[in-house]
Structure 1
Amino acid sequence: MKRFSFAAGPCPIPPEVKKQVAEDVREWKGCGVSALELPFTGDEFAEILESAESDLRSLIEIPRSHKILFLQGGATAQFALVPMNLARVGWHCDYVESGYWSRRAIEEAASWWDVRVIASGAAGRVPNFDEWRRNSDAAYCHFTSNESADGLQFHEFPQGGKAPLVVDMTGDFLTRPIPVEQLGLVYASALKSLGASGLTIVIVRADLLVRGSSGGIPAPFDLARQTAARSKVNTPPMLAILVAARMLRWLVEGGGISTAFLRSQERSANLYSIIDGSGFYRCDAAPDARSRVNVCFRLPDPELEESFAHEAEALGLLHLRGHKRVGGLRASFYNSTADEAVDGLLEFMTNFMRRNG
């Protein structure tokens, strides 16, 4: 029986990528050693980094004004590293509260500098851009593009404003076009889009790299020093970067971001159609704020939700329970989620409703 994961992270890894990474681990391009044994200062690893950066730049059209970093840790680390690097004593930072992960970012940033929450979303919705009370003198304005725990997403990016925009795109990175030229900094933990935990992608406008408190940031966490060292101030997460490079190449060869975006729209629309038309399933997110990546839904009672998850697992449809702080059910559709997995889930949901509705 085939098994498919719908976990919010890590994303599935396509079979062809697994095969390639397995070959890399056995022996890297005929050089006689495993990719795990390559020195991070050597030419071979430099080639992996260059390949990953080149494909990432082409996929989302990153201008030369922005630098790309491949850093250790998850997005949670950036909750502190962003204020450490982009603000100084006496400055304040704007934050938009839209769900669980943006609240986590706010809590962490508030331990460093003066944080001003400029907008908060009500239950089941994200705050409209005209509700944002942006401050022109803010060090930056931070928002979370996709709230994976709540099933919410900003479908557009805000325009204007003097403060640089900082976006946590961990939840929907590489699933849609990104106007990088309008953004000061983008960060995303790679496990939801590029297959392996331990790596975070940071895309930062070069002129912002001089903002951090001079001499006060440990070297591995200093974005300016990491940029100068090509992400190698300390040993980077080499295996995770290799997996990311292979996933990026897979995305390029599979049609790029435009294809990924269309697939994301279609898959989520089909699932929401079943939910909305059922009278059995329920989605509490407003239609204009629903995530195309993490579809959160409920059943009439918790016992049915547990039966749903248990029966799905027996059929090989795994990891459909919601975030532990939120509850309910959740299906995550990443670029690498197989069509067969999506079709199987839709069929199961229809059958489960017929038997229990």
Structure 2
Amino acid sequence: MTKRAYNFNAGPSALPYEVLETAQKELLDFQNTGMSIMEMSHRSATFEEVHNGAIERLRKIYSIPENYEVLFLQGGASLQFAMIPMNFLQEGKTASYIQTGSWSEKAVKEAKLFGNIATAASTKENKYRNIPSIQEITWNEDDAYVHLTSNNTIFGTQWKVFPDTGNVPLVADMSSDILSTPVDVSKFGIIYAGAQKNLGPSGVTVVIMRKDLLEKENQNIPTMLKYSTHADNNSLYNTPPTFGIYMLGEVLKWVENKGGLEQVAKNNEEKAALIYNVIDQSNGFYKGHAEKDSRSLMNITFRVTDEELEKKFLAEAKAAGFVGLNGHRSVGGCRASAYNAVPREACQALADFMVKFQQDHQ
């Protein structure tokens, strides 16, 4: 096996080594076609099998009900920030947004361009250290939808239980924790996610949408920005990101081979615990940003007790082969993103490094 970096990048992030090996092997000649998957027509029978296979695997892994569309779009989650209110925030209606970090703030900024926005809950005053309790969340029964961000990459918080919004569609940006744990899709109106954390390489955005919502879609917007355009054409209205969809399908095969979402979730809990335990047992040398009941399994955010020591920690970690441990530029500190494809060995190596660094600098 090629020597690999300890990749804790927040996104684009680690991909399963086995998937990369498969892609390498098939890169020049996919299924004896004499072409790369990147070279063939998206209308070909060969690619159609890849495309539909990825959709069916995602349906199977998440037990997605038949009354939901599975779409492969482009533009990242950031385009979805605008597409959702553009399509579903009708005139005279209000959409409620739960603010738990920078990405939910960006979603609100886009939504305000199209209609009325209410704050269902916010943890900004607590520096986004926690997820609000279900009791703190308020919305109206005639809201267009309620929006949340399931995992907050910058601040390292994650929803453990989702609100039941009844007849109001619950919309979730799951970009950074999709495929990391089982989810009851039927509780949501829309789930969307950029692929570049757990699903595959950057370039594909997955949207899982209840079909009846399409009946409420705004018809006075450009063709490419209507969800029905993509639903009616199996996400093939225009040329899709073919290589990204192929890779997404291979990642889904990898999840199946790992034992499905239940086993993946167990692995993620064990990996995160290795690092959180070091933080908790450091007597304050390392300080986690998130409150314990809101801690993310995907993005472990922390500070080193002294600013100069923190710089030294990051420099020594980089020299030791750890990649991507710097916190987001907006908040600083340290962040270890332990997505599905980050192996347990990398998390154990980081935990060992943190223990030794503390021993050497106390």
TM-score category (smaller protein): over 0.9
The aligned length equals 356
* Matching residue of 1:255: 259
- Is this contact kept in 2: 1:86–1:212, CA < 8 A? yes
- Give the whole-Å Cα distance in 2 for the aligned partners of 1:97 and 1:343: 33
- Give the whole-Å Cα distance in 2 for the aligned partners of 1:58 and 1:11: 24
* Matching residue of 1:83: 85
| Counterpart selection for 1:101 from 100, 103, 116 | 103
| Counterpart selection for 1:13 from 9, 15, 33 | 15
* Matching residue of 2:191: 186
Question: Which whole-Å deviations, capped at 9, do the CAs of 1:262-297 have from their partners, x for residues lacking one?
Answer: 111111122111101102000121111111110000
Superposition deviation, residue 43 in structure 1:
1.1
| Counterpart selection for 1:284 from 283, 289, 297 | 289
What letter corresponds to residue 250 of structure 2 in structure 1? Answer: R
What letter corresponds to residue 64 of structure 2 in structure 1? Answer: I
Question: Is 2:349 the counterpart of 1:344?
Answer: yes
What letter corresponds to residue 235 of structure 2 in structure 1? Answer: S
Question: Is 2:237 the counterpart of 1:242?
Answer: no
Give the secondary structure class of the aligned counterpart of 2:144: coil
Give the secondary structure class of the aligned counterpart of 1:226: helix
Matches within 5 A, 1:169-180: 169-180=174-185
- Give the whole-Å Cα distance in 1 for the aligned partners of 2:158 and 2:296: 5
What letter corresponds to residue 263 of structure 2 in structure 1? Answer: T
Give the secondary structure class of the aligned counterpart of 2:262: helix
Give the secondary structure class of the aligned counterpart of 2:288: coil
- Give the whole-Å Cα distance in 1 for the aligned partners of 2:245 and 2:103: 24
* Matching residue of 1:115: 117
- Give the whole-Å Cα distance in 2 for the aligned partners of 1:268 and 1:286: 15
Superposition deviation, residue 232 in structure 1:
1.2
- Give the whole-Å Cα distance in 1 for the aligned partners of 2:351 and 2:280: 13
Give the secondary structure class of the aligned counterpart of 2:263: helix
* Matching residue of 1:205: 210
Please identify runs of 4+ aligned residues in structure 1 that moved more than 3 A.
none
- Give the whole-Å Cα distance in 1 for the aligned partners of 2:164 and 2:91: 27
Superposition deviation, residue 117 in structure 1:
0.8
CA distance 1:289–1:114, change in 2 (3 Å)? same
What letter corresponds to residue 139 of structure 1 in structure 2? Answer: A
- Give the whole-Å Cα distance in 2 for the aligned partners of 1:99 and 1:223: 26
Question: Is 2:149 the counterpart of 1:141?
Answer: no
What letter corresponds to residue 111 of structure 1 in structure 2? Answer: L
Give the secondary structure class of the aligned counterpart of 2:131: coil
Deviates further, 113-122 or 323-332: 113-122
| Counterpart selection for 1:158 from 157, 163, 180 | 163
Can you give the 5+ residue segments of structure 1 that lack an aligned partner in the other structure? none
Superposition deviation, residue 316 in structure 1:
0.7
Superposition deviation, residue 161 in structure 1:
2.8
What letter corresponds to residue 53 of structure 1 in structure 2? Answer: I
- Is this contact kept in 1: 2:178–2:199, CA < 8 A? no
- Give the whole-Å Cα distance in 1 for the aligned partners of 2:270 and 2:37: 37
- Is this contact kept in 2: 1:87–1:211, CA < 8 A? no
Superposition deviation, residue 335 in structure 1:
0.8
Question: Is 2:272 the counterpart of 1:268?
Answer: yes
- Is this contact kept in 2: 1:72–1:199, CA < 8 A? yes
TM-score where L is the length of structure 2: 0.96
Question: Is 2:227 the counterpart of 1:223?
Answer: yes
Question: Which whole-Å deviations, capped at 9, do the CAs of 1:153-184 have from their partners, x for residues lacking one?
Answer: 11111124321000000111000111101110
Superposition deviation, residue 313 in structure 1:
1.1
Superposition deviation, residue 302 in structure 1:
2.1
Question: Which whole-Å deviations, capped at 9, do the CAs of 1:15-45 have from their partners, x for residues lacking one?
Answer: 2211211233211100111111111111111
Question: Which whole-Å deviations, capped at 9, do the CAs of 1:167-210 have from their partners, x for residues lacking one?
Answer: 00011100011110111000000000122111100000000012
Superposition deviation, residue 87 in structure 1:
2.2
- Is this contact kept in 2: 1:146–1:171, CA < 8 A? yes
- Give the whole-Å Cα distance in 1 for the aligned partners of 2:301 and 2:204: 26
* Matching residue of 1:300: 305
Superposition deviation, residue 99 in structure 1:
1.1
- Give the whole-Å Cα distance in 2 for the aligned partners of 1:273 and 1:343: 11
What letter corresponds to residue 352 of structure 1 in structure 2? Answer: F
What letter corresponds to residue 174 of structure 1 in structure 2? Answer: L
* Matching residue of 1:23: 25
Question: Which whole-Å deviations, capped at 9, do the CAs of 1:286-311 have from their partners, x for residues lacking one?
Answer: 11111111000001222211111111
Superposition deviation, residue 2 in structure 1:
3.9
- Give the whole-Å Cα distance in 2 for the aligned partners of 1:171 and 1:99: 13
What letter corresponds to residue 258 of structure 1 in structure 2? Answer: E
Percent identical residues: 37
- Is this contact kept in 2: 1:96–1:143, CA < 8 A? yes
